Amino acid sequence: MKSTPVLTAAAAGSAGRRPRRRTAVPVAAAAAALAGLLLAGCGGQNAAKPPTSAEQPQPAGAPAAAGGAPTAKAPAGGNSAPPADGSQSGTGGGAGGAALARSEPQKITIPSLNVSSSLETLAQNADGTMQTPKDPALAGWYEPGPTPGSQGPAVIAGHVTWNGASAVFEKLKTMKGGDTIKVTRRDGKTVTFTVDRVAEYPKAEFPTLEVYKNLDHAGLRLVTCGGSFDPAKHYYDSNVVVFARMTGAA
């Protein structure tokens, strides 16, 4: 059965349906989409919808928006919302030095998993849902967000299985803190990320802000499906997320 990492603002409600794949259109609100995506069903086609105003991340110390706080809890130290083009301001320090200028990623390599994949570019569909990789052997970078190496949380997604066969991120959940990830960019630079942690979340408890909130450094999130698979619904009940940060560039 197909399995896809899916981003949607209706995490549980769409679990039993298989929405149609739609044609991508230009993203007018990339920042909103990046800041508040919720990951949901991995079976069938997938989704990435901008949050409502009540789901937008708040600057550190700011009160929640009218209508209540987001269900996902942001860790202390969150930053202000990103600019409208999905890029991040500032130079973002950290162990890897200053964040780089924006440049599209071309390839991801994960030595501990023996994974090496060129990257598809993932945009948004006409209904606001995020595209997923067309080729189960390839991972895909979410284009409205930061590029790997630039300041903020770059997102790369991949399938865990496809029609019962292994896909590119099948072993993602076995990664551990300290593992490295390398991303080669269009500008010729190869950025090294070091894994901070790996976590698995039930769909309905996905910590949106923790994954998508602004950062003061160049971060990377790898996303796929996890948990139990329901063959009748073509649906995994969880998501696996790898949290990493830039530790070098050459």
Q: What is the pLDDT along the chain (250 residues), one digit of tens a residue?
A: 445 454 433 333 334 444 444 433 333 334 334 333 333 335 433 333 323 333 333 332 222 222 222 323 323 223 223 333 334 434 455 567 799 999 999 999 999 999 999 999 999 778 766 688 999 999 999 999 999 999 999 999 999 999 889 999 999 999 999 999 999 999 999 999 999 999 999 988 887 788 889 999 999 999 999 999 888 888 889 999 999 999 999 9
pLDDT of residue 149: 98
Q: What three-state secondary structure class fits 235?
A: strand
pLDDT of residue 11: 37
220, 67 Cβ separation under 8 angstroms:
no
What backbone phi and psi angles, to 5 degrees, belong to 187? -80, 5
pLDDT of residue 53: 30
| Burial class of 55 by CB neighbour count within 10 A (0 to 12, 13 to 18, 19+) | buried
What is the rounded distance in angstroms from the CA atom of residue 231 to the CA atom of residue 67?
Answer: 37
**Backbone Cα Rg of the chain:** 17
Comparing C-alpha atoms, which of 225, 221, 227 is closest to residue 242?
Answer: 221
Domains observed in the chain: 6-56+93-249 (2.40.260.10)
User: What proportions of the chain, in percent to the nearest 5, are helix, strand and coil?
Assistant: 10, 35, 55
